[in-house]
Amino acid sequence: MLIPSLHSQRLDLIPPDRSCESAYQRFYTDAEASAAYGGPLSPAAAWSRLVYDVGCWHVQGFGVWALRRREDAAVIGVCGFWQGHGWPRELTWWLLPEARGQGYALEASRAAVEHAYAEFHWQAVQTYCADSNEPAKALIARLGGVQVSRQSFPDGEDRNVYQFQRPAV
């Protein structure tokens, strides 16, 4: 499968590969940075997460892109789509701590949502997060996410589900 690359104003959204290992290690082994993503993880588990993200494209036909900042070619996080077994598909993202608060997640998420509607031809692009994840809820609001339901998830938690509008053509 040929994994597409996307481009935004400051970022290249590229297929994740071995060059992302350092960013994955830094993110997933940092307890504070990865708390909303099941972290902290061991270095071996962070590697497994990278391999999982690469494999999702080939098994599911979608996945996350690595976010490479154009100004210095640094991989600063990921953005794209995730769907674990028994879970609904969602827009997801994470950024290294030093890349937060600069609009990168918003920029990448807009590109991913637009791609999902235009190229994957999805009827809906949604996300969800823990009720306590204020940064994620703020980004969802900036992206124009509208709550469409509240549902129970395989981990036993209830979450709001938000949907993003199809971009104007």
Nearest alpha-carbon partner for 116 in 92, 84, 100: 92
Give the rounded distance of the alpha carbon of 127 from its chain centre. Answer: 10
All domains in the chain, ordered by first residue: 6-164 (3.40.630.30)
The model's pLDDT over 24-81, given as tens digits with 9 standing for 90+, comes to 999 999 999 999 999 999 999 999 999 999 999 999 999 999 999 999 999 999 999 9
Q: How many CB atoms lie within 10 A of CB 17?
A: 13
Tens digit of pLDDT for each residue in 94-144?
999 999 999 999 999 999 999 999 999 999 999 999 999 999 999 999 999
Q: What is the edge-to-edge ordering of all strands in the sheet holding 90-95?
A: 6-7, 11-14, 64-69, 75-82, 90-95
Whether residue 14 is predicted with pLDDT greater than 70 in this model: the reply is: yes
Residue for token pair 């609904």: 88
d(CA 46, CA 52): 10
Give the separation between CA 56 and CA 44, rounded to whole angstroms: 18
pTM of the model: 0.96
